[in-house]
Chains A and B, each alone.
Chain A
Amino acid sequence: MTFDTLAARALDTATSSGASYADIRFDDGRAERAEVRNGDVVTLADSRSCGYGIRALVDGAWGFAASARLDDTGVDETAALAVAIAKAGAAIAKHRFAQAPTERYVDTFRTPVVRDPASVPLGDRVALLLDVERALHATSSIRVGRAWIDLWQTEKVFYSTTGSRIAQTILQSGSGCSALAVNDDDAQDRSYPGDIGLYQSGGWEIVDAAALRENAARIGEEATQLLSAPQCPSGVRDVILGGSQVSLQIHESLGHAAELDRIMGWEANFSGTSFLRASELGKLRYGSPHVTIVIDNTMPRGFATVGYDDEGSKSVVDDIVRDGVLVGFESSRDTARTIGRATNACVRAENWRNVPMIRMCNLNLLPGNVPFDALFDGVDDGIYMESNRSWSIDDHRLNFQFGCQIGWEIKGGKKTRMVKNPTYAGVTPQFWNACDAVADEHSWVAWGTPNCGKGEPMQTGRTAQAASPARFRNVRVGVGYDA
């Protein structure tokens, strides 16, 4: 039985049961993970999960039900359950959150792929990881070496009662490695690339681009050097953040803050709300004029790049912060309507089981106009930090404290000695307003985040924040170690 036939039946059942609108999203996902830890292949697994989620709208209230039962009875029961759930919500509703969508798309999308991961023999993948993990043990202080590869292929087909039929094939890939150095008093972690690896949309070319073999020994050596490095000083310093840490900074202090569902209180009990208000659009100086951040869910290699989001809206490019001024939010249809705008198609569900919600998708800091090395010019006393180790921010997304794996002091415009446990803290708008330079496109990377948590039940989202290194003035550093 094809998805087309089951979809028609499900949508008929939903409307005949009382839904004013319904959609069904089939999701057939395959995930492969391989991981080597201290010479052992600790994960070599291939998983497939196929099912569908049905959204039904009744009297302004949504119901969502999901099932893996791919037959007439399954879709009938699930569609009826989605309607029953919507009715249960509508019965106690004090106001309505939703209106029936009207958009209709009939289209297909496929992630551009240079090299199909299926063409790389499993034995070659394992051999790569064993080589990389072995190289991490550059010194006898390395207690744990890890290397991993993740590959995902997802077939999605979306149908709605407005007549949409959108078929998408999405490929995402990632890899990384890490080394833990230990002595009697300390344990220090280093990972590469960034803090969790390089994750992008595409095929095996993403694994090749990570260049794990070429960097593993350096990572092991740096972890070992950190054991004897001096503690990062505490105080106020200028800070240069490596690209992956800028990516994390965007994710936590803008990406989540600018989710319109959070701003409306839809995540209040868990992920929290936001210090941003719709009335501040076009007015709030979020950052310095060096800071322009855009949603681009169409970009090549963006980890969250798709043709359409999970409520059937077409991917777009949209400004969030332009020249330092807040001008937009990440939105869905229902939330965008409340501020008089169209959705910018930022709705995703982790898989077929989950209700679609707003995610930050690809949210990029546009590159500046100075080479990376030039960021160090004019810094008399500062810290350069790379690769996140710790991240915490309040439930309004204002007060943050982040830590990195490794740092170097900057003296007289030069990167000097290595320091361990570098941390910094700040308040979101003040911090972004202290940005006085962003490195150019030569160090701009589409950093993917495979593990963004949001929602209840918790969903893991795959987001991206492309960034290059950036410089921030007068930042509080050494936080947490200054007692």
Chain B
Amino acid sequence: MREAQREELARSVLDLAANDACEAIVTSTAGGLTRFTHNAVHQNLASADTTVRVRTIVDGRTGVAMTNDTCPASLAQTVARSRAIAAFAPPGDVPRPLLHTARISAPHGAFVAATAAASPTARAATVAAIVAEAEAASVWAAGYVTTSQTGITIANSTGTLLSFDGTACGLNVKANAADATGFAERYANDVAALDGAAAGAIAVAKTRVGAAPIAVEPGAWTVILEPAAIGELLSYLTDHFSAQAYVDGSSFLADGLGRTYVGENVTMWDDHTHPSLADMPFDLEGAPRTRVPLFEAGVANHVVTDARYAAKLDMPNTGHGFAVPSAMGPEPRSVVVSTGSRSTQELIAQTKRGLLVSRFWYIRPVDDRKTIVTGMTRDGTFLIEDGKITAGVRNMRFNQSILEALRHCEFASDAARTEGYSYRMVVPAVKIDGFRFDSRTEF
């Protein structure tokens, strides 16, 4: 659905709300995903939807109702339902008034028409390029190619009318040989950046290097984590920078802002304008998103906020909120990690003995306050000896404090966008000393 149609829909909701304080969030999504395994497509889909979320505030009480039926009668019912629900919601400890925000332009590169127009045939062609690499090496590939577009409009009875259109695309590939697997991924807003052949070649090459994997002893290792691996690890740290986790005392930041928590070479921030991310310029409350430093030379000075926590903590609203009301606190959404001075290849070349990790799997917190997490390596773990990759290594489980890891690390000079189902960030590979593995598998 185009911006003008969404805005017309949002205005019609506000008209239905008459004199109530009201907010309408109209979200339209459309996209497709082509999934393959054993070098053939096995799941191939497309879907489109438009939802309308109505927030009505009556005497400080808030009710919310949602629908994806956008006919006038359904919208009228949804507005009435949100008003009826509001009657049962006691006012909260901090008022959540509607925000008045002037229109904000999207960062350059947020929307790419070619991505929005990508067809099932185009996705299949990218899959075919990946599969060709796999077949040439007599291995099988599994993965996906996806393209999507999202449009969001927020309007409220203070006169706010904000719209954003964005696109996203990605692929990942796991190449599977008899005794080794290899992984590669690509994420961007522009479908032209999805080079299936290049990603397929990297994944396939890892199966060659990793053939006949050896077992190494668990213990403290020097590791070099590729962007997919360090990105997933850091995704379990970034939510500590939520003002809610800070107030709750579940974040490591409960020990205080303004302190040095990690190495002086670690700088990390949230920035939706980064060219590799180019994301929505406002949050779902309608507040402008701002660039927030998370670590500055190892020091944590800030948390991200929404209107509620900004008021509660007497801090600026950084624009990191979810749709109101929500049990979720504000969260960093577009994390960027600063690069170092040496390339990933140089980091490998200068490692006497260590492990190169392509990807982690199933990371989960073990102890929140200590930032200890556990997880597994997968799809390409390699032994480094005297600066060279010498063998594939069977997978291992780690238990590691993320903060501790960031006290003994060096980031590479080349960064990449990486994603999981709950995060999106730009991060370089990293070398970490003393990374603690404590068991291993037989594969």
What does the 1/0 interface line of A442-483 toward B look like (CB < 8 Å)?
000000000001011110000000000000000000011111
18 examples of A-B residue contacts, CB within 8 angstroms: A42-B92, A42-B325, A67-B48, A68-B69, A85-B32, A88-B34, A88-B44, A92-B124, A186-B369, A187-B250, A265-B142, A272-B361, A394-B378, A401-B399, A425-B397, A479-B399, A480-B374, A482-B438
B178 within 8 A of A: no
Residue of A nearest to B67 (CB): A48
Residue of A nearest to B441 (CB): A399
Name the one of A53, A65, A89 contacting B34, with C-beta atoms under 8 angstroms: A89
Whether A86 contacts B69 by the Cβ 8 Å rule is no
Report Cα–Cα, A481/B367, bound state, in Å.
9
Whether A43 contacts B68 by the Cβ 8 Å rule is no
A residues 34-80 with Cβ under 8 Å of B? 35, 37-51, 53, 61-68
Contact status of A47 and B67, CB under 8 A, knowing A40-B93, A421-B367: yes
Stretch among B58-66, B281-289, B337-345 lining the A interface: B58-66
Chain A residues within 8 Å of B48, by CB:
66-68
Contact status of A269 and B326, CB under 8 A, knowing A44-B64, A68-B50, A392-B376: no
B136 within 8 A of A: no
How many positions in chain A have a CB within 8 Å of any CB in the partner chain?
A: 85
Give the Cβ gap from B163 to chain A, nearest Cβ, in Å. 21
Chain B residues within 8 Å of A403, by CB:
366
Whether A64 contacts B173 by the Cβ 8 Å rule is no
Name the one of A46, A66, A357 contacting B64, with C-beta atoms under 8 angstroms: A46
What does the 1/0 interface line of A394-435 toward B look like (CB < 8 Å)?
111011010100000000000000000101010000000000
Chain B residues within 8 Å of A106, by CB:
none
Report Cα–Cα, A263/B250, bound state, in Å.
38
Whether A394 contacts B144 by the Cβ 8 Å rule is no
Chain A residues within 8 Å of B362, by CB:
392-395
Whether B65 contacts A85 by the Cβ 8 Å rule is no
Whether A353 contacts B49 by the Cβ 8 Å rule is yes
Chain B residues within 8 Å of A53, by CB:
47
Whether B68 contacts A49 by the Cβ 8 Å rule is yes
Name the one of B32, B326, B367 contacting A43, with C-beta atoms under 8 angstroms: B326
B102 within 8 A of A: no
Residue of A nearest to B64 (CB): A45
B372 within 8 A of A: yes
Report Cα–Cα, A479/B47, bound state, in Å.
44
Name the one of B120, B376, B421 contacting A88, with C-beta atoms under 8 angstroms: B120
Name the one of B51, B119, B172, B395 contacting A269, with C-beta atoms under 8 angstroms: B172
Stretch among B18-26, B81-89, B152-160 lining the A interface: B81-89
Whether A44 contacts B41 by the Cβ 8 Å rule is no
A residues 329-360 with Cβ under 8 Å of B? 353-355, 357
A162 within 8 A of B: no
A84 within 8 A of B: yes
Name the one of B248, B254, B363 contacting A392, with C-beta atoms under 8 angstroms: B363
9 other contacts beyond A44-B325, A265-B37, A399-B397, with CB at 8 A cut-off?
A: A40-B90, A45-B63, A50-B68, A51-B68, A88-B124, A126-B88, A130-B90, A268-B176, A394-B362
A109 within 8 A of B: no
Name the one of A42, A122, A353, A392 contacting B375, with C-beta atoms under 8 angstroms: A392
Name the one of B46, B250, B365 contacting A66, with C-beta atoms under 8 angstroms: B46
Chain A residues within 8 Å of B82, by CB:
46
Chain B residues within 8 Å of A65, by CB:
45-47
Stretch among A93-101, A163-171, A292-300, A363-371 lining the B interface: A93-101
Chain B residues within 8 Å of A94, by CB:
38-40, 131
Give the Cβ gap from A371 to chain B, nearest Cβ, in Å. 33
Contact status of A62 and B44, CB under 8 A, knowing A88-B124, A268-B37, A480-B372: yes
B residues 89-126 with Cβ under 8 Å of A? 89-90, 92-93, 119-121, 123-124
What does the 1/0 interface line of B248-287 toward A look like (CB < 8 Å)?
1110001000000000000000000000000000000000
A228 within 8 A of B: no
Report Cα–Cα, A483/B399, bound state, in Å.
9
Whether B93 contacts A392 by the Cβ 8 Å rule is no
Contact status of A401 and B374, CB under 8 A, knowing A66-B47, A93-B40, A266-B42: yes
Name the one of A91, A270, A272, A482 contacting B124, with C-beta atoms under 8 angstroms: A91
Report Cα–Cα, A144/B244, bound state, in Å.
10
Report Cα–Cα, A269/B443, bound state, in Å.
16
B383 within 8 A of A: no
Chain B residues within 8 Å of A355, by CB:
43, 45
Report Cα–Cα, A396/B378, bound state, in Å.
10
Whether A480 contacts B366 by the Cβ 8 Å rule is yes
What does the 1/0 interface line of B156-176 toward A look like (CB < 8 Å)?
000000000000000011101
Chain A residues within 8 Å of B119, by CB:
88
A138 within 8 A of B: no
Whether B45 contacts A483 by the Cβ 8 Å rule is no
Give the Cβ gap from B352 to chain A, nearest Cβ, in Å. 23
Whether A423 contacts B66 by the Cβ 8 Å rule is no
Whether A41 contacts B68 by the Cβ 8 Å rule is no
Report Cα–Cα, A392/B421, bound state, in Å.
16
Chain A residues within 8 Å of B440, by CB:
399
Whether B367 contacts A480 by the Cβ 8 Å rule is yes
Residue of B nearest to A122 (CB): B88
Name the one of A38, A180, A480 contacting B399, with C-beta atoms under 8 angstroms: A480
Whether B327 contacts A37 by the Cβ 8 Å rule is yes
Whether B49 contacts A182 by the Cβ 8 Å rule is no
Report Cα–Cα, A44/B89, bound state, in Å.
7
Whether B249 contacts A48 by the Cβ 8 Å rule is no
A residues 242-296 with Cβ under 8 Å of B? 264-266, 268-270, 272
Whether B49 contacts A48 by the Cβ 8 Å rule is no
Chain A residues within 8 Å of B237, by CB:
none
Report Cα–Cα, A94/B127, bound state, in Å.
12
Report Cα–Cα, A456/B170, bound state, in Å.
12
B368 within 8 A of A: yes
Residue of B nearest to A391 (CB): B364
Report Cα–Cα, A37/B244, bound state, in Å.
12
Give the Cβ gap from A140 to chain B, nearest Cβ, in Å. 13
Report Cα–Cα, A399/B174, bound state, in Å.
20
Whether A95 contacts B40 by the Cβ 8 Å rule is yes
Whether A48 contacts B33 by the Cβ 8 Å rule is no
B146 within 8 A of A: yes
Whether A182 contacts B326 by the Cβ 8 Å rule is no
Name the one of A41, A51, A457, A481 contacting B33, with C-beta atoms under 8 angstroms: A457
Report Cα–Cα, A105/B92, bound state, in Å.
51
Whether B397 contacts A394 by the Cβ 8 Å rule is yes
Give the Cβ gap from A22 to chain B, nearest Cβ, in Å. 14
Whether B146 contacts A146 by the Cβ 8 Å rule is no
A110 within 8 A of B: no
Give the Cβ gap from B21 to chain A, nearest Cβ, in Å. 16
B291 within 8 A of A: no
Whether A396 contacts B441 by the Cβ 8 Å rule is yes
Contact status of A122 and B85, CB under 8 A, knowing A394-B397, A396-B443: yes
